[in-house]
Amino acid sequence: MSTDDLTLIRPDDWHLHLRDGALLAAVLPHTARCFARAIVMPNLKPPVTTVALARAYRERILAALPAGMTFEPLMTLYLTEATTPDDIAEASASGFVHAVKYYPAGATTNAASGVTELRRCYPVFEAMQKHKLPLLMHGEVTDPEVDVFDREPVFVERHLTTLLRDFPALRMVLEHITTREAAQFVRDAPAHVGATITPQHLLLNRNAIFAGGLRPHSYCLPVLKRETHRQALVEVATSGDPGFFLGTDSAPHPRHAKESSCGCAGIYSAHAAIELYAEAFEAAGALDKLEAFASFHGADFYGLPRNTGTITLLRQPWTVPEEVDFGGVPGVPMRAGESIAWRLDT
């Protein structure tokens, strides 16, 4: 498929980091220019562990939305070993909490309060299954003896099969998948198991971290993998399988936090997310499959109505700025200083 413009039903982002305060105000317009809704990650400091905290965070997001923009934040709770079935019942009844996020303790940014042993959360999973509240999983193990590039396949083998057996009706999303093994698991799983895929994992392999030197702005978690895994992700994303949908995992970190002696993980893509996905789908000869991946599959999985408005992408190359404002400090966006083939028609 080749065209100079592409009109899509307005898409949604099913995995997004907005942070808080001045940083939230700076990055929110990048998402709202394109996406109608987003599943907002709860890993703030302190984490969003209760419905009351989620309500307050939602109000701060809406207050930061520029006049004239429309956007609906879909809130999540941060799962801890202190979360209770009553918390799940309250979240389900709230109308604005749409999922619960599982982080293995220490796995990624602000994950210190995460779960050390999944079985300790079984009463909560039972309540989530009852209330049909999805479990969103950062699908990695953090055992030091497991190679960092194998953390996702080990998680799939060690935990996902067991969870599916013990909670056969629990709605689950394996977030930001990076490997052939994760893709195959979701392909083979029942319809209530899905996965999000990021633009970086569709466009880059692990060579990007080391191209001409150490590239901290290509470092994310789960880390980029081999080219064979990238190809497997492109295959499932463009297959039309409704179990796979768009989730940017766009994560704003200031330049100084990335370019440090112990740089943090995360890639910022909200400034050009749908344009980057369009590049990936076009490279695969599958532009005709982008709308379903970006606009239909996630909404259907979450039981929400599909959006009715549209966006249009134009084939007009543009150069990404070297830096973007992250609330008064500079951040480096994905593809900084480089060209992107598609531009959102605003």
Residue 176 in marked binding region: yes
Residue 253 in marked binding region: yes
- Burial letters 296-326, b for 16+ CB under 10 A, else e: bbbbbbbeeeebeeebebbeeeeebeeebeb
Residue 43 in marked binding region: yes
Q: Quickly tell me which residue has 């990048």 as its tokens.
A: 30
Residue 261: how many other CB atoms lie within 10 Å: 4
Residue 249 among the catalytic residues: yes
Residue 44 in marked binding region: no
Residue 297 in marked binding region: no
Beta bridge partners of 250: 16
Instruction: Give the residue among 208, 150, 204 at the shortest CA–CA distance from 181.
Output: 150
Residue 290 in marked binding region: no
Amino acid at 12: D
Amino acid at 114: G
Residue 17 in marked binding region: yes
Residue 131 in marked binding region: no
Q: Quickly tell me which residue has 């409704």 as its tokens.
A: 242
Tokens found for residue 323: 């830096």
Candidates 12, 13, 241, 249; catalytic one: 249
Own/partner long-range contacts of 251-256 (Cβ < 8 Å, ≥24 apart): 251/17, 251/109, 251/220, 252/17, 252/19, 252/23, 252/26, 252/27, 252/326, 252/331, 253/109, 253/326, 253/331, 254/326, 254/329, 254/330, 254/331, 255/323, 255/329, 255/330, 255/331, 255/332, 256/329
Residue 265 in marked binding region: yes
Q: Which residues are annotated as a binding site for Zn(2+)?
A: 15, 17, 101, 138, 176, 249
Residues noted as catalytic = 249
Q: Which residues are annotated as a binding site for substrate?
A: 17-19, 43, 138, 221, 253, 265
Q: Which residues are annotated as a binding site?
A: 15, 17-19, 43, 101, 138, 176, 221, 249, 253, 265
